[in-house]
Amino acid sequence: MTSPPRVPTRSRADRAAQQQHAQRQHAQRPQPHAPQEPPAEQATTRLGALTTRIQLGRSMTSESANYFMLLGITLFMVVFGLVMVLSSSSVESHNDSDNFFSRFWSQGAYTLVGLPLMFVVSRIPRAFWRRTIWFFLAAACFLQLLVLFTPLGMEIGGNRNWLKIGSLTVQPSEAIKLALVVWLGVVLARKRDVLTQWKHVAIPVVPVAGGAVALVTLGGDLGTTMIMAALILGALFFAGVRMRYLAAGVVGVAVVAFFVAISSASRLGRIAAMFGGSSAANPDVNWQINNGFYALASGGVFGVGLGNSHSKWSWLPAADTDFIFAIIGEELGLIGAIVVLLLFVMLAVVFLRIIHASTDPFARVTTAAIMVWLIGQAFVNIAVVLGVIPVLGVPLPLISAGGTAMISSMIAIGIVLSFARQSHRDSLAAHDAGAAGPRA
């Protein structure tokens, strides 16, 4: 049989050469170009990318100078206060609990509660307070009623102003002050166009704010009552109320304060002690005033050194609370005392800057009331230590020991920080609106 014809086969080298030739031809072949966007779409894409970068930059933009100034001063005062509380309370803490740091740890714990609350409140919009402030004021007044009319109320130094629940002791009057400043801002901003009429000033300020002050007065705390009266008058002043109405309010407050002062033997004794007399109802007042003078005098210009106070060795009552300024003057001298005064002056300047920068009447009035509260309370505390006014028993804001006072003060600062943030954003929005307006 004849075999079929053989098909010629390519060698392995021929096949490899053919594959390489095909790859070279494919590489040399022109590739199709990607479709290009029309010029209008390219412009839109670039505009979108630019807008994204602007929004990202805006979100990363720092807060206003007022915001950082207020935050920095507050944090410095809080840290400084913790140091002074540790120094002034160590001896009494050891005598009470065999622990030099017990009061310091307590104050530090309250500060750790107040610090995050301050930052949280600084992010709360103003509309939240307008909707809820009546509830907060009513809740604070209810707690004060528990102090006055239930066994939960506790009396210290002749004042029934504390609520004791288990091992926790709180001061509802601090919550009333905090709620009252915001309530005044909401109400007076809403009535700003009719505040020239006395009846719109009197209602609802007199029954509501006056009732809140009366609850604190019934507890016998004249110092807190005076601070509350001052912040109400301050809010009315910055709201634009006529001066003759404010003068009538000042006279009314003075009359009430006089009758409250003479209604208690303890308060009469404090007034007598300021003029060199003695108090049979409260004999420690003379001792406290004199040792406060001794502490300031022994400090001199430069002080005896941090932690080296002699008065804190059970010589000066309330060394870490009402009379902490005397310990500051003793340990840090005249220079330290002036620094504290300058801190409160700077705090007042920042408040005034925020008031001036704000266009919202609610923010302006509330910030003004908080300013009068904190700066006025500092003035009263320092005046007591210097013997200018009778002993009233109010702490030095952000510096003295006192948990409820520290938390309420930091929340109040947080409210003002929120106003500073919002004012800054409003100014940026107005600037952007002006820049994006129609061009000639």
Q: Provide the residue-wise pLDDT of the chain in tens; the chain has 440 residues.
A: 444 444 444 555 556 566 666 566 655 555 554 445 455 555 555 555 555 454 434 444 557 899 999 999 999 999 999 999 999 999 999 988 889 999 999 999 999 999 999 999 999 999 999 999 999 999 999 999 999 999 999 988 778 889 998 888 899 999 999 999 999 999 999 999 899 898 888 989 999 999 999 999 998 888 999 999 999 999 999 999 999 999 999 999 899 888 888 887 778 888 888 877 776 667 778 889 999 999 999 999 999 999 999 999 989 999 999 999 999 999 999 999 999 999 999 999 999 999 999 999 999 999 999 999 999 999 999 999 999 998 888 999 999 999 999 999 999 999 999 999 988 787 777 767 776 665 54
- pTM of the predicted structure, to 2 decimals: 0.84
Distance CA 155, CA 171 (A): 11
> Cα–Cα distances in Å, from 345 out to 101, 317, 401?
31, 27, 21
**Domain map of the chain by residue range?**
66-423
Widest Cα–Cα separation across the chain = 150
Cβ-based neighbours of 303, under 8 Å, separated by 6 or more: 329, 330, 331, 332, 333, 335, 336
Q: How far is C-alpha 102 from the chain's CA centre?
A: 25
Q: Among residues 324, 293, 317, which one has the least CA distance to residue 83?
A: 324
> Is 279:266 a contact under the CB 8 Å cutoff?
yes
Q: Among residues 143, 146, 173, 252, which one has the least CA distance to residue 205?
A: 252
> Is 140:175 a contact under the CB 8 Å cutoff?
yes
Identity of residue 233 = L
> Is 204:150 a contact under the CB 8 Å cutoff?
no
pLDDT score recorded for residue 436: 67
By three-state DSSP, how is residue 7 classified?
coil
